[in-house]
Structure 1
């Protein structure tokens, strides 16, 4: 087994030795002219910005408070040419580092040359100094380093050329200061200008002696060296020191104490110029499988994580200053990821928590001795700018970021492997760390028994086969060409796609039991893929996501998707994006009932000419943007079966469908669409568009909607096509040169109308008869055999077909029609039994409804509740002789303009109820004779009286006549009341049906029955009428007084005698042997809604206030859980349960006529379950009656004084050996 080398210990002696060497070129120069200035002439690269230009090298700013720099991108070279204010001999120069070299290491120059000339020409340079692989400049901020030059020639122009930097792609220098000796130290007569000797320096072991003199010309101090003999070295012997696991040693050497030079022997015959050559590196630990060092007592528990079955020879090397360490669940920030781990979790985590601009990295090497299944989990929890890189033998695992966990699985063959773990933090700003700010690898495992799903690449790199393998068939498989298929696979990530040329993908039958939940990007980017076979073995039953599944499969020419199960798919966005070679697609077997996103599903399928979409269910789709964008070969599309009710985005839906000449959007519902920008852009073959059913009330984007539809001559639209909310509508009709009246200056949204200045053509309303059905539609063009709608009092064109009509259908498109007359529409349709879609009949402009349903003998029901009659003037014979109608709801009828109502309901012999409101008036009626004649079963405030004068319009009201006012619903049954005081005969409330009152009313008799579940005694109740407690013997009623969280119970008090007001929620307890609650009252007032909850305002001691008992006449919660808060409590099995704790609140609800407890604040709902009536640990309210009737009980008040019985306030009751506390209010 190899050992890990801990370099941070081994380098320390080396660093000490290197500090002893100060290069001679760093000796400060004193004999140079400080008055010389420099100016940059040109340079390349110029810099990241003007503030970091090469000219900043010579501005003298190099301190923290006054700093500038040259910072630029570096690829292979950089240079700057500069001029001195006067010529001189270069004797040295100073380089100052940047302001952030400590953070962004590696930006310093590494190799460079310094040139000079006296012409300024860039092709006449003479070399002054050259540095290669510099070791002087350090990654420190604002630090200056001196360099010397051996030059005797004077220059005025200079070029500094940098050929390498330490690392990365960025060069950075703070300041460059050249030192010029501009004086020759000679007078005009060539005599010396040096003065008398100022100092006489003796020689050393490295430098000859010299004298110093002051120059009378430049005033510099100049050295004049002597020709004398150097002194011998003063040596110290350093003996051989062997290295240990963690400490470096050294070879034998001698060192001069004066000049610090190093020698191999005492005779100084060989000098060591590199101190590193003296160092014997630390040997590193030698670990066993448990991580114990076999040489020293040190233990590294990380080794045990990797020494698994089938693995040997593990070595771990720590890089940088923050090596990965053992998983510590108690470290700072770990609470953010605690849910990912268990107490038994073992693994590694990065070690640079909170260290800005840092890397935590280790390298693990190991040997696999037999085929194994290698797996582990890896997790990151950090800001998005922090990344974890994990590679195995150089291949990068799936990238993760943010807070994300993935599982890695791979089958490893025999051989050596290298696992690199690296976590980088690029910055720490704002609020600092997010999450645990770490990466983790844990739950490492190996198995030699293998059974898994894999993808196998053949030897030619062209065929990929998906199949299941086991340990039994490994011998015939090249494991190096095999990868495990994970839960969210992508073919192009399974292998290095750049080195493969996959043309064929095969799904083996053994793969059919693999059940992924996502196929997002599964085949994406397989640009060379030509065929996929065995797709019937790709199990899609659990798949919810098919986003970009076949994205850019450019060479795929056919797809057999007949066996795809798409029942659970919600996302089909860009599923076939850029499948440029597909010519046909058959999706007739697709179940798309749950799909919400179909945007770009066929985008850029350039050759697609045949699409079978008839079975697509688009009920839940919200996004159809770019759905057919770029489908150049499509010539026709029938989307009449598309349900677009929930679609909000149709941007570029048919963008550049250049060959599309037929497009059926007849059933498009665009009521919720917001974006139609570029919707039909460049559909250059379309000659007409029928958008007569388009409602654009919510659309904000229409820019370039029809732009470049150069063949378009007609756009049919209705008044529902509006631009009131459009914010972007430019170029809407640009290039539509064949539209009538087109002008290049009139292309925006202003011309999207049917007016004289608009490009739209209004649609037309018509009726078609076929196979006993009369269908009303509103389209752009009326079919040849269809009938026009009649106007005024003329009979309709389908008069001759009335004897054959059995069914009438109002198509959804007819909602855009605005007929003005319905006169005789269905009159004499003797065999008419059904009218479908009547809600699509908009009657707001109708003035004539005479004989509309006359003699519809077979019609048993008719829904005219949505009729708008505000402009109707004639209702003569409207329902005449509709013999089988038993109910008519005319609650929405406004008859303020009606002048004729004669015989309106005459002959409706089965009609029992006519609902009408105060808007049904007869103020303008001049003929209302026989209005109710023959309505023998009609009953309102009065019953119909035959052979009397009470059959005219005077009795068309609910206060004194035959009408009934709709006052509510009991389940699906409508509740009617009549009279000055609205009253109904009977109100029987069903325990399982909602009760809704539109306004208060009265009833002569009210009933409510509930069967209490076996084993339960307690319940909640809220009724719309008052309860007389004296009449109810099955139970006793209580009001809520609060929640006692300490004892996890609710507290109650008995309701005072008398009535419980209508709509008041209460609790009740059934008496012994009673299981049915049976409540009935006479002459009861019915309230519209429950009271707003009974707020506990006077709580008992230690009982929380701000608690409401909230009642409801309708069911609350249930499937959508609407109306209940997660902290509410509902009753069940004689306890109150917190909603959140009942299956996370999903599907939790209460039935009608019940109540729930609503704490006003979350802190009041601490308990998951509350007992009923248990106060302070002594008793429950269950025994209140028994205590009250006990003649032997002793009663005391709160001060201990004995009383004669229960008093208001706190009572202490002794009953035998037990003591009770009872609060009476």
Structure 2
């Protein structure tokens, strides 16, 4: 090879066996052009030129971010008061000048990862690139408990090292790292466990609130053997599909409430082998979670006391094999299957419900999946005090045999069978309702034809009931209902009670005491077939009660007492305002002869 400096040949060199060569020249100065030529077939060719920059001293470039919107480029050269060209990604940004000590700086816009900054010195009339810097990502670091973590901006990944997690709650969970000012509002999308981490006893809401999380890798490295509280642990993880939890030790956990609540995209969970023998609270565990067929049939639930909301609004839930669960200690099953709208079968007839006090809303809204039967006739309900909304909206149920249920302690039955549109058979005639105070909307049907035609509830003790509003609202299938012997002496509201009971032709309320009733508005509105009322001495209408006028053929518009011809009212309005209990008996609408 032939070496030349500024066009003057200096020496020839021979490459070594690797093709490398070295040229030493201590007299080179800034701006000198060194050219190397290779001799091929007797001629020198393949020239390569290199311009010497500042006696070989390359200025170091430093980057200093300011105000999150700009970056200062700083450097130093031995060429004082010299022109310097600054380029970003091949585009010239400006020409600046180094000061009398060779220092220079330039403020540029916010830089991104992999941006290329070039600094070229003006030497012998031309700019020569003397330094190139590629913007590299600087990892943000911190400590969570004793666990070191790093934050990678480009992938939005939080990586954990080894150590122990701190106590977790809504203020101190992993979401608190996302709130670190250095993350500048970016959301965590990925979490990596790279080394063993000891979980804290109190790990509630640990991952909760990470709404954009997509992956959590290495969960097997999170040691949960000492954890007692996992409540809300994975709550609200809308972007997460997979969780590898099969290897977790849950033998000491007592609280799993709301653990997967509102994690809408979760796929199958490998949790069938979890040790749940110490768990006391499973309330809301899968509420609003899009699970289909959880394999949890073999769980030990012998310590659980609270199963309320457990599957609430799990709208993709198709089947549950939980018939063998030990529920002997459970006291709260309220809203347990609330609006599990795709559930097609549920075999829980053998459950021990002897300690359950709250069953309110338990089967509320089972209307889409087509659940037509429930074999729960043998349940022990002797401790239950609240059955409100228990079957409300279970629109596909066709029959319920609950005749053997012990309801002696129940106080609230409001909306219990409300909107059970398909229900044709209901065995509840022998119930002990002596403690019930609220029967609001108990057989309420909204907006469609009701299937239930007969209802045997004549022997019910209603002496403590205060609210009977909307009790038979919309029960359009009922042709008769025997409530004549009911004790209504404590009832205060009866509005809409028979409103929309359009097939009801006669009604016996002869023993009713309405002295405490303050609201009867619309009590009989849209009860279009009601032509016979048996009234007693203690019954009085309050307001219009919604009893409709019928004054077109074949009706005369009048009401008459079948036992006393003198008790005649010229219109429904006169009947409602004039009846004072002095002439009790059976009143019928008069028809043309």
Taking structure 1 as the reference length, what is the TM-score of the superposition?
Answer: 0.29
The residue that corresponds to 2:307 in the other structure is 488
1:329-368 pair list within 5 angstroms: 367-368=219-220
Equivalent pair of 2:315/2:341 in contact (CA under 8 Å): no
Determine the C-alpha separation between the residues in 2 that align with 1:412 and 1:231.
56
Pair 233,518 (structure 1): closer, same or farther in 2 beyond 3 Å: same
The residue that corresponds to 1:741 in the other structure is 557
* Higher relative strand content: 1
1:569-584 pair list within 5 angstroms: 569-584=384-399
Pair 754,528 (structure 1): closer, same or farther in 2 beyond 3 Å: same
Q: CA deviation at 1:467?
A: 2.9
The residue that corresponds to 2:11 in the other structure is none
Determine the C-alpha separation between the residues in 1 that align with 2:409 and 2:491.
19
Q: CA deviation at 1:570?
A: 1.0
Q: Equivalent of 2:519, from 701, 718, 737?
A: 701
Determine the C-alpha separation between the residues in 2 that align with 1:315 and 1:517.
33
Pair 349,232 (structure 1): closer, same or farther in 2 beyond 3 Å: same
Q: CA deviation at 1:611?
A: 1.5
Determine the C-alpha separation between the residues in 1 that align with 2:392 and 2:109.
74
Q: Equivalent of 1:255, from 102, 105, 123?
A: 105
Pair 292,549 (structure 1): closer, same or farther in 2 beyond 3 Å: closer
Equivalent pair of 2:338/2:366 in contact (CA under 8 Å): yes
1:545-556 pair list within 5 angstroms: 545-554=358-367, 555-556=370-371
The residue that corresponds to 1:412 in the other structure is 245
Q: CA deviation at 1:754?
A: 6.0
The residue that corresponds to 2:98 in the other structure is 235
Q: CA deviation at 1:646?
A: 1.2
1:471-870 pair list within 5 angstroms: 487-490=306-309, 492-493=311-312, 497-498=315-316, 500=317, 502=318, 504-509=319-324, 511-513=325-327, 515-536=329-350, 538-554=351-367, 555-630=370-445, 632-723=450-541, 726=542, 729-730=543-544, 732-734=546-548, 741-742=557-558, 751-752=575-576, 755=579, 762-764=583-585
CA deviation map 1:714-736 (0-9, x unaligned) = 2121232235xx4xx35611356
Equivalent pair of 2:201/2:227 in contact (CA under 8 Å): no
Q: Report the secondary structure of 2:219's partner residue.
A: strand
Determine the C-alpha separation between the residues in 1 that align with 2:376 and 2:493.
31
Equivalent pair of 1:574/1:599 in contact (CA under 8 Å): yes
Determine the C-alpha separation between the residues in 2 that align with 1:669 and 1:624.
13
1:284 is the counterpart of 2:141:
yes
Q: Report the secondary structure of 2:484's partner residue.
A: coil
Q: CA deviation at 1:565?
A: 1.0
Determine the C-alpha separation between the residues in 2 that align with 1:258 and 1:658.
77
Q: CA deviation at 1:560?
A: 1.7
Equivalent pair of 1:302/1:348 in contact (CA under 8 Å): no
1:319 is the counterpart of 2:178:
yes
Pair 321,233 (structure 1): closer, same or farther in 2 beyond 3 Å: same
CA deviation map 1:1033-1063 (0-9, x unaligned) = xxxxxxxxxxxxxxxxxxxxxxxxxxxxxxx
The residue that corresponds to 1:1072 in the other structure is none
Q: CA deviation at 1:657?
A: 1.7
Determine the C-alpha separation between the residues in 1 that align with 2:413 and 2:211.
43
Determine the C-alpha separation between the residues in 1 that align with 2:372 and 2:526.
30
Structure 1, 630-639 or 695-704: larger mean CA deviation: 630-639
Determine the C-alpha separation between the residues in 2 that align with 1:17 and 1:684.
71
Pair 306,664 (structure 1): closer, same or farther in 2 beyond 3 Å: same
Q: CA deviation at 1:589?
A: 1.2
Determine the C-alpha separation between the residues in 1 that align with 2:143 and 2:550.
81
Q: Report the secondary structure of 2:522's partner residue.
A: coil
Q: Report the secondary structure of 2:121's partner residue.
A: coil
Determine the C-alpha separation between the residues in 1 that align with 2:162 and 2:204.
7
Q: Report the secondary structure of 1:532's partner residue.
A: coil
Equivalent pair of 1:651/1:675 in contact (CA under 8 Å): yes
Q: Equivalent of 1:450, from 248, 252, 275?
A: 275
Pair 736,665 (structure 1): closer, same or farther in 2 beyond 3 Å: farther
Q: Equivalent of 2:66, from 9, 15, 21?
A: 15
CA deviation map 1:340-366 (0-9, x unaligned) = xxxx9867999xxxxxxxx99999975
Question: Computing the radius of gyration over CA atoms, which structure comes out larger, 1 or 2?
Answer: 1
The residue that corresponds to 2:153 in the other structure is none
Total equivalences in the alignment: 415
The residue that corresponds to 2:567 in the other structure is none
Determine the C-alpha separation between the residues in 1 that align with 2:377 and 2:109.
87
Q: Report the secondary structure of 1:368's partner residue.
A: helix
Equivalent pair of 1:14/1:279 in contact (CA under 8 Å): no
Taking structure 2 as the reference length, what is the TM-score of the superposition?
Answer: 0.56
Q: Report the secondary structure of 2:384's partner residue.
A: coil
Q: Report the secondary structure of 1:14's partner residue.
A: strand
Determine the C-alpha separation between the residues in 1 that align with 2:222 and 2:231.
28
1:266 is the counterpart of 2:121:
yes
Unaligned residue ranges in structure 1 (runs of 5+): 1-11, 23-203, 207-229, 240-252, 295-299, 309-313, 324-343, 351-358, 381-387, 397-409, 416-447, 471-483, 765-778, 782-1225
Q: Equivalent of 2:298, from 455, 463, 468?
A: 468
Equivalent pair of 1:541/1:565 in contact (CA under 8 Å): yes
Pair 283,712 (structure 1): closer, same or farther in 2 beyond 3 Å: closer
The residue that corresponds to 1:1139 in the other structure is none
CA deviation map 1:288-346 (0-9, x unaligned) = x954799xxxxx999412799xxxxx9998223479xxxxxxxxxxxxxxxxxxxx986
Pair 583,676 (structure 1): closer, same or farther in 2 beyond 3 Å: same
Pair 602,486 (structure 1): closer, same or farther in 2 beyond 3 Å: same
The residue that corresponds to 1:1082 in the other structure is none
Equivalent pair of 2:419/2:444 in contact (CA under 8 Å): yes
- Aligned residues: CA RMSD: 5.5
Q: Report the secondary structure of 2:357's partner residue.
A: coil
CA deviation map 1:461-480 (0-9, x unaligned) = 8656653347xxxxxxxxxx
Equivalent pair of 1:711/1:736 in contact (CA under 8 Å): no
Equivalent pair of 1:713/1:739 in contact (CA under 8 Å): no
Equivalent pair of 1:621/1:647 in contact (CA under 8 Å): yes
1:304 is the counterpart of 2:304:
no
CA deviation map 1:211-265 (0-9, x unaligned) = xxxxxxxxxxxxxxxxxxx9962136999xxxxxxxxxxxxx9635999997434
Pair 515,315 (structure 1): closer, same or farther in 2 beyond 3 Å: closer
Determine the C-alpha separation between the residues in 2 that align with 1:684 and 1:349.
52
Equivalent pair of 2:97/2:104 in contact (CA under 8 Å): no
Determine the C-alpha separation between the residues in 1 that align with 2:373 and 2:84.
87
* Higher relative helix content: 1
The residue that corresponds to 1:1148 in the other structure is none
Equivalent pair of 2:522/2:545 in contact (CA under 8 Å): yes
Determine the C-alpha separation between the residues in 1 that align with 2:522 and 2:141.
71
Pair 286,659 (structure 1): closer, same or farther in 2 beyond 3 Å: closer
Determine the C-alpha separation between the residues in 1 that align with 2:202 and 2:394.
46
Q: Report the secondary structure of 1:752's partner residue.
A: helix
Pair 690,237 (structure 1): closer, same or farther in 2 beyond 3 Å: farther
